[in-house]
Amino acid sequence: MQTLKVALVGAGMAGQAHAFGYRNASMADDLRDVAIELDTVADVSEALAEDVRLRYGFKRATADISQIAANPEIDVISVALPNHAHRAVLEVLLRSGKHVLTEKPLGVGVEDAEYLTNLSLQYPGIRSVGFSYRRIPALAQMAQIVREGRLGDIWHFESSYYADHAASAADRFTWRFDRATAGGGALSDLGAHAVDAIAFVISPIDEVLSAQFKTSITERTDRSGQQHEVTNDDFASALVRTECGAAGSLLTSRVAYGQPNRLSLSVYGSKGSAHFDTQHYNDLKVFEAGGNAATTGPSHVVMGPANPHYSDVSSFRSRGVNTGYGEAFIAEIQDFIRAVVGRKELDTTFDNALHAMRVIESMYAFDTKTALQN
């Protein structure tokens, strides 16, 4: 058995999703000989860190993040912090030479992302960014279908990420609504996943043709009752083109009532089309042209052990039993561990996060130009 000792920096919802992933990583057959020990959870709120320690089985909890970088026994570190905290914390952890998996984005803008990406190359260790949606079996299967050429040349696409967690004006002001601490709004928080899904399934975006933004709720009150201006976007839309020449749309919103959390991607090519959305995690619609016009139509493909990642994360390895959001985090952690022990090359590196950040900043720059013209 090979043993990896894990530390978690950030004990909020995203951090707990990472803890869930590590606890279940050995579900994969090829990782049964890797023992995962949950060693330390760190958070500025020591009470929260202690709560996560108890519930997920970490050995210790601390509010002192520096203990993790200095501990020679810790092998891998997961980071799930507010955007503005990424640069300072990651700089210390990267210099330690330990293996690091961090949530996106890499800071609050391109400057942070470029700095951290360059720094990651100067020290040993595997560096990964948490684009967990790539590990959803149906989306991974869609990417495989496109790479195999079954849809022909990709002509155009539609992508969106809608959520309604900020749709009420009564929702409290937090760092997410401040451009200085969050960077972008809905586009940076949610749209980054759509940008990465496009890069993963089709090809990276290399041109932003247009972009527009709207802040629907312009002021919010924090927990102390103080009023704050919202300085980033509730909604964003853009027209983009990818490296392979496919043109498409990207829309994202955090104020879309009735859409609690929905990523969707439709791809149209010279030989067919495919559609995926997270309201139907285990379904993929595929249409391949050329059949009998009287009877042909989109195939409704239900995920199972034949599809990517499914057998590694399913609690019951049978088609139609279904996987979901949590299982995508398990698969993300599994791929990270495979890279750490030298069994697989990662496809979600800091470079991927830097690409997403550059695309997002290009969208914001386009909108700035439009505003100046007006």
Give residue 371's pLDDT.
45
The C-alpha atoms of residue 37 and residue 39 are separated, in whole angstroms, by 6
* Encoded tokens for 179: 């451009």
Identify whether the C-beta of residue 146 lies closer than 8 Å to the C-beta of residue 201: yes
Query: How high is the pLDDT of residue 368?
Result: 58
Average pLDDT over residues 261-269: 98
Query: Mean pLDDT across the stretch 127-138?
Result: 96
The second-level CATH assignment, the architecture, of 2-132 is 3-Layer(aba) Sandwich (3.40)
Hey, do 2-132 and 137-323 end up sharing a CATH topology, with the first three levels equal? no
Mean pLDDT of the chain: 95
| Residue of 270, 109, 281, 75 whose CA lies nearest to 184 | 109
Asked if residue 255 has pLDDT above 90, the reply is yes
* pLDDT greater than 90 at residue 95: yes
pLDDT at 222: 96
The mean pLDDT of 334-354, rounded to a whole number, is: 96
Which amino acid is present at 265?
L
The architecture CATH gives domain 137-323:
2-Layer Sandwich (3.30)
pLDDT band of residue 374 (cuts 50, 70, 90) is very low
Could you tell me the strand order of the sheet in which 247-253 lies?
205-214, 235-242, 247-253, 154-163, 261-269, 272-277, 283-288, 299-302
Is the torsion defined by CA of 161, 108, 110, 363 positive or negative?
A: positive
Owner of token pair 């990276």: 204
Question: Which is it for the CA torsion 320, 139, 262, 192, positive or negative?
Answer: positive
Q: How far apart are the first and last CA of the chain?
A: 64
Please determine, for residue 370, whether its predicted confidence score (pLDDT) is greater than 80.
no
Neighbour tally for 190: CB within 10 Å? 23
Q: How confident is the model at residue 369 (pLDDT cuts 50, 70, 90)?
A: low
Residue from 90, 33, 60, 258 nearest 163 by CA: 258
**CB atoms near residue 233 (< 10 Å):** 27
What number is the average pLDDT over the span 159-184?
96
Q: Name the amino acid, one letter, at 364.
A: Y
Q: Which two tokens stand for residue 56?
A: 């997920």
Upper half-sphere CA count for residue 182 (Cβ side, 13 Å): 20
User: pTM for this one?
Assistant: 0.95
pLDDT band at 372, cuts 50/70/90?
A: very low
SS3 for the chain is CEEEEEEEECCCHHHHHHHHHHHHHHHCHHHCCEEEEEEEEECCCHHHHHHHHHHHCCCEEECCCHHHHHCCCCCEEEECCCHHHHHHHHHHHHHCCCEEEECCCCCCCHHHHHHHHHHHCCCCCCEEECCHHHHCHHHHHHHHHHHCCCCCCEEEEEEEEEECCCCCCCCCCCHHHCHHHHCCCHHHHHHHHHHHHHHHHCCCEEEEEEEEEECCCCEEECCCCCEEECCCCCEEEEEEEECCCCEEEEEEECCCCCCCEEEEEEEEECCEEEEEEHHHCCEEEEEECCCCCCCCCCEEEECCCCCCCHHHHCCCCCCCCCCCHHHHHHHHHHHHHHHHCCCCCCCCCHHHHHHHHHHHHHHHHHHHHHHHHC
Sequence ranges of the domains in the chain? 2-132, 137-323
Give me 140's structure tokens. 């991974």
pLDDT at residue 281, rounded to an integer: 94
For the residues 94-111, what does the mean pLDDT come to? Answer: 95
pLDDT of residue 366: 80
Q: What is the pLDDT of residues 18-43, one digit of tens each?
A: 999 999 999 999 999 999 999 999 99
CB within 8 Å of 17: residues ≥ 6 apart? 80, 132, 326, 329
Reported confidence tier of residue 373, pLDDT bands at 50, 70, 90: very low
Q: Which band of pLDDT confidence, cut at 50, 70 and 90, is reported for residue 86?
A: very high
Residues facing residue 227 across a β-bridge? 221
- Residue entry with tokens 């239900």: 302
Q: Is the pLDDT of residue 219 over 90?
A: yes
User: What are the structure tokens assigned to 244, written together?
Assistant: 């392979």
Distance CA 152, CA 58 (A): 48
Q: How confident is the model at residue 66 (pLDDT cuts 50, 70, 90)?
A: confident
Split at pLDDT 50, 70, 90, the class of 185 is very high
Asked if the bond preceding 124 is cis, omega within 30° of 0, the reply is no
